Structures are given as C-alpha cells and as structure tokens.
A = this chain, B = another copy of it.
Amino acid sequence: MKSWVRYRSRDDRIGFGLQDELGQIHVHDGDMFYTPIPTGVLLKADDVTLLSPCQPSKIVALWNNFHALAAKLGKTVPSHPLFLIKPATSVCGTGASIKRPKSYDGKIVYEGELGIVIGKRCSDVDPGDASRHIFGYTCVNDITAAELLNEDLNFAQWTRAKGFDSFGVLGPCIVPGFDWRAASVVTMLDGVERQNYPLSDMVFGPEQLVSHISRDMTLLPGDVIACGTSLGVGSIKNGSSVRVAIEGIGALTNSLT
C-alpha cells in the first residue's frame, strides 16, 4: 500500500510524495489533494525528515467516541459527536519533540487515535457520500495538559489543555483506502504497550463523523478528524517516548522534552 508523506530534505526543502513499500519517496509536485504530479525524482527515506503528512487548518478532536472507554468512565454514549478544535499551530509530525509548556509543570497525557484526513472542501455531507471526501487515514497522538482541563470549575478548558504547540501529533503518513474496520490502535510508552484497542468499537465511524461534523462546519482539504481514544490513556514523563501505531498505516514516535 502506498502512502503520502511530507518531508524536509537535507537541503532544507519541503516537499511531498508517495512512499513505497521499500520506504522510497516518489516526489510529487502540485497539490497533494487535487493535482499531485509525479516528478520522477526518487528520495531514500534516510535522506529526509518526515513532517506532519498534511497541514490541517484545524484538527477536530473527538471526546467519548469508544464504547469501552465510555463504559469505564460511566458515561452515556453520545447522540452526536462531541468535539473541540486543536489549532493548526498545535500540529507536528513523527520524530518531533512534544514540548512541555513553559508555564505548566503538571501531568501530560498521550492518546493514540485514528485520524481521518479530509480530501475535499465539504459541508452538509450525506453519510453515504462521506467516503468520497476522505483522502485517507493517519495516526494521531492527541496530547493533553490534563491538569488544566478542570482548573476552572465553571468551564472545562478542552481547547487550552489540548491546543499547545506540538500537542497535535500526526503521521507518519496518509494511507488512502485504508480499511479501519479490522485495525487496532497500539500505543507504547517507553517500549511498554499501554493501549491496544479495536477501531471497530467506535461509536461514530469515519463516514458518520465526516457527515455529522460537515453539518457543523465546513471541512477543508487536509483537515483532520481525530476519532477519539479508548482504554489505556496515561501520562508521559519528561524524556519518555510514545509510539502510536496502526497496522496498515505506520507508527508515530515522539518524545516529551
């Protein structure tokens, strides 16, 4: 299965292309979503640093979208997707440092998730038409400064807690046509498995999410819907490494600094 990547080359140029099974990148020009044009240039994986595979205008991040986690937390399953926005400035790619905010000494939490990458500007999409607007899938590590969330009793600070620079980890690539139904999200903390949950347990699947959310706001090419997490969320210590992997997509590895 080929996958789309964005990279920075050794001569500091940013580009994108299709990565093949050998890891080689077939460089493309133009726009990834509408008019990718093969240039004939081939790069080795070792010659580039991967970046976030797209540059979303927003990440729409779901809360309470897995039956198992809802049951554990004693929450009812929602009747409409529940979400917040992580800003474009929160995005980083595999290998990038997750940066502890200067003003925050508290607990920082990882959440391994599936990410839907939007391919076409869309609003009011019917569920049966949603797959046409999905460019592909990526892995997400939805980072949270957990102690900020309920710091003010009148207002849950979802945006603040999850919106810091480098808290929207995406990658390593985007896989079009990925079959999420049989896949699991596996999160390792310093080599120890902490999450391993099936995507089939989602409350709202990708087509439903695209349809519902596109009725709430226009979605743009490259926008990412982070499908929410399930059991096994935990905290990351300074220096620790988190790896979010989905078989068929790849692995996203980042350390907290």
CA distance A75 to B85 in the complex (A): 25
Q: Is the interface of A mostly helix, strand, loop or mixed?
A: loop
Of the candidates B58, B102, B164, B217, the one whose C-beta lies within 8 Å of that of A164 is: B217
Residue of B at shortest CB range from A89?
A: B218
Q: Does A152 contact B (CB under 8 A)?
A: yes
The residues in A between 140 and 167 inclusive whose CB is less than 8 angstroms from any CB of B are: 151-152, 154-160, 163-165
Q: Does A80 contact B (CB under 8 A)?
A: yes
Q: Does A124 contact B (CB under 8 A)?
A: yes
Whether A215 and B101, one on each chain, are in contact in the complex, defined by CB atoms closer than 8 angstroms, is: yes
Kindly report how many copies of this chain are found in the complex they form together. 2
| A interface, CB within 8 angstroms of B | 57-58, 63-64, 75-76, 78-80, 82-85, 87-90, 101-103, 123-124, 151-152, 154-160, 163-165, 215-218, 220
Q: Could you write out 20 A-B pairs with CB less than 8 Å apart?
A: A57-B57, A57-B87, A64-B155, A76-B154, A78-B154, A78-B155, A79-B152, A80-B152, A82-B152, A83-B159, A83-B160, A84-B85, A85-B159, A89-B217, A101-B215, A102-B124, A123-B165, A156-B156, A158-B159, A163-B217
